[in-house]
Amino acid sequence: MTELLMRAARQLGVPTEVSAGPGPGLPGASIWARWPRDPRDIAQDVLEHLTRTSADATVVPVPGTSLWRARQGEWSHVGLFEEAIAHLAEHILERSRNTRRSGRLSSAAHRNSIR
């Protein structure tokens, strides 16, 4: 599950690591310390990004459990906090890819029909 969250975070530009040292750091420089961010923090940042870009995306606790329900439109997923957000991100990103693909296909079909 963590891999799904990490993949979504990378696609959305959410940092998955933190670093310490003076300035922004240099690749391969041993003075810089880097370590993975806590998955709950990453999930919270992914959720913030998703709710900014998709007004109908929500994540709410399931009463009486430790589970969360992620929802967008008719789609929903119930799971632990990080899992629910990872699946919501996957769903939204897949819909975005399909929409872009559909737009490219319809544009190509339109160009071909006017030839």
Q: What is the pLDDT of residues 48-92, one digit of tens each?
A: 999 999 989 999 999 999 999 999 999 999 999 999 999 999 999
d(CA 115, CA 113): 6
**What pLDDT does 80 receive?**
97
Residue 21 has pLDDT above 70, yes or no: no
- Please indicate, yes or no, whether the overall pTM of this predicted structure exceeds 0.75: yes
**What pLDDT does 50 receive?**
96
**What pLDDT does 49 receive?**
97
Backbone angles phi, psi at 51, to 5 degrees: -75, -25
Residues in the chain: 115
Share above pLDDT 70 across residues of the chain, in percent, rounded to a whole number: 77
Per DSSP, 115 falls in state: -
